[in-house]
Amino acid sequence: MDPLQSLTPISPLQPLMEQGKASTEAQGGTHFSDLLKQAMQEVSEAEHSADQEARNLMSGEATDMHSAILAVQKADVSFQMMMAVRSKLISAYQEVMRMPM
């Protein structure tokens, strides 16, 4: 028996994308775009928390300077990490676009 006969032909790209979504959902996984959205939401929340802590410290509502500094540093590190991931994604995209077809 010829092993090539048992292979199914490759269909157009759109059905392949739908098959990928179905298999990801069947396995209980999440999409990469959902992970990116969640990470950006966490960075936004960290920045909002740092802003609120700084406002509370400046207005005199809070006296704990350490928590305000920690919140600002956490937001800064989160933002730097997000920018590093963004740079890597852009670099990977540009590399794929340079590949010969």
Whether 72 is covered by a domain: the verdict is yes
Whether 76 is covered by a domain: the verdict is yes
Residue 44: count of CB within 10 angstroms of its CB: 14
Whether 93 is covered by a domain: the verdict is yes
Q: DSSP secondary structure string, 15-34?
A: HHHHHHHHHHHHHT---HHH
- CA 76, 79, 92 angle in degrees (round to 5)? 145
Whether 25 is covered by a domain: the verdict is no
Instruction: Give the pair of three-digit tokens for residue 69.
Output: 């500094």
Whether 24 is covered by a domain: the verdict is no
What CA–CA distances, in Å, run from 64 to 52, 57, 58, 69, 77?
A: 13, 7, 11, 9, 21
Whether 19 is covered by a domain: the verdict is no
3-state secondary structure of 45: helix
Q: How many domains does the chain have?
A: 1
Whether 36 is covered by a domain: the verdict is yes
Per residue in 34-88, pLDDT tens? 988 999 999 999 999 999 999 998 998 888 889 889 999 999 999 999 999 999 9
Which pLDDT score is estimated for 24?
53
Whether 39 is covered by a domain: the verdict is yes
Identify the domain containing residue 96 by its residue range: 32-101
Q: Between 3 and 43, where is the model more confident? A: 43
